[in-house]
Amino acid sequence: MNIVASKEIEKILPQLAARPYPQVIKYMGSKARIIDFVIEGLNNADTGGAICDLFSGAASLAGSAGHLRPFIVNDIQAYSRVIARSYLHRLSDQAASISGDGICKLAHSIVARKKKHIPTAAHYPETTTLEKFNQIEFANRELINYKYDDKYHLFLKNYSGTWWSAEQCAWIDALREVCDELLEMEKINEGDHCILLTCVMHAMAYCGQGTGHYAQYRDAKTKSSMLDINIYRQKSVEAYFSKKFESIKTWNRRHVTGNTRHQFFALDYLDALKKIPKESLVYADPPYAFVHYSRFYHAIETFVLYDYPSLQIKGGKVVKGRYRDARHQSPFSIRSQVVGAFESLFEGVSESSSNLVLSYSNAALLDLPTMIELAHETLGATYFVEALTVDHQHMTMGRRADRMRDVEEALLIARRKKRF
Ligand SMILES: C[S@@+](CC[C@H](N)C(=O)[O-])C[C@H]1O[C@@H](n2cnc3c(N)ncnc32)[C@H](O)[C@@H]1O
């Protein structure tokens, strides 16, 4: 029996190429910056089958390559599925006829109603003293102790005076209410709904007083930090939402086709691997640091789920970051579990007879040679395993192993050998 490199066969497949796409949130570990490199890796392992982004995060692959094939998106965090869908779903004619301003108009009357819960002491003037500013911050945070009688008050209650002001939170809740109502009244469909929620997440990211994640918000300890925080307190969620919806609408109608064969999961990667078709092309970009995404992005997870979660308590008090209580702890971010997590990843890929492109970063708990060795051991003789570096070098195990230790960013490529 003759075994030949699948690469020879795959040369006849058309090359995958990126489309331009709008980024919507700031995301730790996003591959937006090196997406052409990732796509080069995918071209090296293409099976011609479905593409599965197993850890899709802010969905840079769906954004840039989601028009090419049936695309399977997965991430343990639910917001990822929503963002990815906003890149893959063609906006309906009915939704495209609604303007961002039109949606904000509907939200305006809801915000006006909500404002009755916001005391005058919680309003942020454009200029004030540090002492007064901190009193305002306190008045905002106190809103967690109020009682609310309407259905949409999650952000006003739980997040006023954290990353956002009470007024910004009222806008976040009101926009969510309008999006849900439009869906309920069948003025939009579920894919359109995802696009609208993504635009709210965008507004949350750019109006929030942090660096784009929600691990910890800043305290106004000095005049200069107060001035900076107040810049964000003055930002308009409404304006950011409306502008993004208009620009996504234009992009969407130009670049997104009505392919309905895409699939969206919010599963653990091992469960997702059991659902993918045989001979898929799997892209895996797991976490590479000790920190958990479920903590860094808990606020958008809560916005998407809108489930009034219980908040984490420490020493009898709600923790400062107001994290969701039950949060996913990724094995890729836990030293004692990371080897097993990669082994299971390789096994799952092999069981589906798929090819794998795995992003590697030097922040990883495992170094590149160890990772390649693990891939060799787990995948066995039926796979070719090599690394592709950003400077386009292909490296296989055994040779140049020392050089591999210095690599900052690479792709581990595992291609199944074909039998004839
Ligand atoms: C490095 S980020 C992916 C970034 C993405 N490629 C991008 O460009 O935006 C890693 C992702 O893995 C997800 N994740 C962590 N543990 C997971 C698990 N057990 N199953 C599925 N996804 C997981 C995190 O939620 C996070 O979004």
**Structure-token pair, residue 217:** 């918000």
CB 395 within 8 A of CB 386: yes
CB 276 within 8 A of CB 70: no
Q: Measured between alpha carbons, how far apart are the two ends of the chain, in Å?
A: 6
pLDDT of 116-168, one tens digit each? 889 999 999 999 999 999 999 999 999 999 999 999 999 999 999 999 999 99
The mean predicted confidence, pLDDT, of the chain is: 92
- For residue 140 and ligand 1, the question of a CB distance below 6 A is answered with no
pLDDT of 17-32, one tens digit each? 899 999 999 999 999 9
- For residue 177 and ligand 1, the question of a CB distance below 6 A is answered with no
With a cut of 90, say whether residue 190 has pLDDT above it: yes
Candidate from 283, 330, 343, 358 with most ligand 1 atoms within 8 A of CB, to mutate: 330
Q: How far apart are CA 377 and CA 343, in angstroms?
A: 9
What pLDDT sits at residue 283?
Answer: 98
Candidate from 34, 54, 75 with most ligand 1 atoms within 8 A of CB, to mutate: 75
With a cut of 90, say whether residue 396 has pLDDT above it: no
Give the pairing of strands 409-416 and 383-389.
antiparallel
Measured from the Cα of 80, ligand 1's closest atom is 27
pLDDT of 272-292, one tens digit each? 999 999 999 999 999 988 889
Measured from the Cα of 35, ligand 1's closest atom is 8
Q: How far apart are CA 63 and CA 22, in angstroms?
A: 8
| Residue located nearest, by CA, to atom 13 of ligand 1 | 55
**Structure-token pair, residue 218:** 């800043």
Q: Is the dihedral of CA 143, 146, 149, 152 positive or negative?
A: positive
Give the pairing of strands 418-419 and 3-4.
antiparallel
| Residue located nearest, by CA, to atom 7 of ligand 1 | 30
| Residue located nearest, by CA, to atom 18 of ligand 1 | 268
Q: Return the percentage of the chain with pLDDT > 70, whole number.
A: 93
Q: How far apart are CA 161 and CA 312, in angstroms?
A: 18
Question: Among candidates 265, 302, 268, which has minimal Cα distance to 287?
Answer: 268
Domain 3-90+263-292+328-419, architecture per CATH: 3-Layer(aba) Sandwich (3.40)
What pLDDT sits at residue 67?
Answer: 84
Q: Residue ranges of the domains in the chain?
A: 3-90+263-292+328-419, 93-255
pLDDT of 319-328, one tens digit each? 999 999 988 8
DSSP 57-68: TTTHHHHHHTTS
